[in-house]
Chains A and B, each alone.
Chain A
Amino acid sequence: QCPHKWKRVKCVHCNSKNHSRDRCPSIWRSYYLLDSNVRRVLPVHKIFCYNCGGKGHFGDDCWEYRSSRVPNEDGSAFSGENLPQELK
């Protein structure tokens, strides 16, 4: 019945098709960063996966089937995407 049903809305903040702009995770997922003058090294030995328990990757990036039945459409904090720019 809805005349706009066919129209896929894209979020203007992040280009995602999963949500509209007024429900964009970027509204709350913002970190207050330290000065980035320090050169950082990626602490690979501290990276663990919430999905399989394995080492070296974050849960969002796991290639095993998803263990939790709750969907994770927009991605979570535990993703390689959530590393500082120079460490991705």
Chain B
Amino acid sequence: TLNTDYPWILNHDHSKQREIADWLTLEIKDFVAYISPSQEEIRVRNSTISKIRNAVKDLWPDADLHVFGSFATDLYLPGSDIDCVINSSSGDKENRNCLYSLASFLKRRKLATQVEVISKARVPIIKFVEPISQIHIDISFERVNGLEAARVIRGWLKETPGLRELVLIVKQFLAARRLNMVHTGGLGGFSIICLVYAFLQLHPRVISSDIDSMENLGILLIDFFELYGKNFGYDHVAISVTDSGARYLSKELYGSLQNPRTSFALAIQDPGDKDNNISRGSFNIRDIKKAFAGAFDLLTNRCFELDAATFKDRVGKSILGNVIKYRGKQR
């Protein structure tokens, strides 16, 4: 009865739970624990970053390297790239010569293989693989907005129970369907976090302090897919997130957030610039909405099916398995 497709359920059987929603909550916690990095992985990642950081400082004494993105907020899936930024007091490192001299310096020190310098993009970067850890690393130059976003997200995570767990599940769900890459119209990491954060901040049971989100992750996940897959008015509603919480806005009153080509678009107001829509790149919102609705149907159908099954037939079953389709390495 061991199902190796869903490794997080091994030795974690919850089939005897009376409420299906409680079973799902426990399975979400198991999955999150399963994909979270081990102490050894954290150690390897930190030592890799500090080696590169030291090299950068040797090359440019006025510069420093910081991680941002999912690694800075602990919201990454196994095998994700690490996003870093180099900032310097002279502020002159974002030019082609600097990019190439850093690339060859890292190669000489045997800290980088498979190096790509992308100097002509809107955000110039160096991509490479650190040869010992095999970690993929992206370095960008002279920007602070990524660091600022990571600071805001860490604040949200601290004060919003359940945010981390739901974000990781939704990320894995979208990654399995290739709907998580902005350059193909998918949802980027920051947009996913904003959707989940706004969902939790506006949920009737959460705002009335009626539930502990951590004990209700199962029903909250279903409610999330229901909201953004079936009900949310993408044509008329924009999402606003600030330090003091989340709210909806009528797009008619905030025309600058409206996509000029189609009204059916996700709009998330940039906390730092009220006229900027941070999710304007996610043009494939139609497929994303459909995928969320499909997740709602899959999950609720599975609940009906397992609710009707005998306890004997439930043993070793997964509720989440077909929804998140995790095909990662064994841990």
A interface residues with partner B (beta carbon < 8 Å) = 22-23, 25, 27-34, 36, 38, 40, 42-43, 46-55, 58-60, 66-68, 70, 72, 76-80, 82-84, 87
Query: Within 8 Å of chain A (Cβ to Cβ): is B303?
Result: yes
Note all chain A residues with C-beta closer than 8 A to B205: 31, 77, 82-84
Contact A30 B19 (CB under 8 A): yes
Chain B residue with Cβ nearest A50:
B232
Contact A22 B304 (CB under 8 A): yes
Count of A-B contacts with CB under 8 A? Answer: 144
Secondary structure type dominating chain B contacts = helix
Contact A38 B249 (CB under 8 A): no
Contact A68 B209 (CB under 8 A): no
Cα A47 to Cα B208 in complex, Å, equals 10
Contact of B207 among A23, A47, A59, A60 (CB under 8 A): A47
Question: Assuming A51-B236, A68-B233, A76-B230, is B248 touching A27 (CB within 8 A)?
Answer: no
Q: How far is the CB of A57 from chain B (nearest CB, A)?
A: 11
Contact B227 A27 (CB under 8 A): no
Note all chain A residues with C-beta closer than 8 A to B304: 22-23, 27-28
Chain B residue with Cβ nearest A44:
B207
Chain B residue with Cβ nearest A77:
B223
Q: How far is the CB of B266 from chain A (nearest CB, A)?
A: 13
Note all chain B residues with C-beta closer than 8 A to A80: 204
Contact A30 B21 (CB under 8 A): yes
Note all chain B residues with C-beta closer than 8 A to A32: 19, 21-22, 25, 211-212, 215-216
Contact A31 B248 (CB under 8 A): no
Pairs of residues from A and B, 3 with the lowest C-beta to C-beta distance, nearest first:
A67-B233, A53-B250, A77-B223
Cα A59 to Cα B20 in complex, Å, equals 26
Cα A29 to Cα B215 in complex, Å, equals 14
Cα A27 to Cα B24 in complex, Å, equals 12
B interface residues with partner A (beta carbon < 8 Å) = 19-22, 24-25, 201-205, 207-212, 215-216, 218-219, 222-223, 226-227, 229-238, 245, 247-251, 293, 299-300, 303-304, 307-308
Contact A53 B238 (CB under 8 A): yes
Note all chain B residues with C-beta closer than 8 A to A70: 229-231, 293
Contact B210 A40 (CB under 8 A): yes
Contact B303 A50 (CB under 8 A): no
Question: Assuming A53-B238, A54-B250, A76-B226, is B208 touching A43 (CB within 8 A)?
Answer: yes
Note all chain B residues with C-beta closer than 8 A to A30: 19, 21, 219
Chain B residue with Cβ nearest A52:
B236
Contact B20 A46 (CB under 8 A): no
Chain A residue with Cβ nearest B18:
A30
Contact A68 B231 (CB under 8 A): yes
Contact B231 A53 (CB under 8 A): no
Note all chain B residues with C-beta closer than 8 A to A52: 233, 236-237, 250
Contact A53 B251 (CB under 8 A): yes
Contact A33 B222 (CB under 8 A): no
Note all chain A residues with C-beta closer than 8 A to B204: 47, 58, 77-80, 82-83
Q: Which of B209, B216, B248 has the most CB of A within 10 A?
A: B248
Cα A54 to Cα B201 in complex, Å, equals 16
Note all chain A residues with C-beta closer than 8 A to B245: 46
Cα A42 to Cα B233 in complex, Å, equals 24
Contact B219 A28 (CB under 8 A): yes
Q: Which of B212, B227, B233, B251 has the most CB of A within 10 A?
A: B233
Q: How far is the CB of B293 from chain A (nearest CB, A)?
A: 6
Contact B219 A29 (CB under 8 A): yes
Note all chain B residues with C-beta closer than 8 A to A46: 201-202, 207, 245, 247
Chain A residue with Cβ nearest B250:
A53
Question: Assuming A48-B247, A50-B232, A68-B231, is B21 touching A84 (CB within 8 A)?
Answer: no
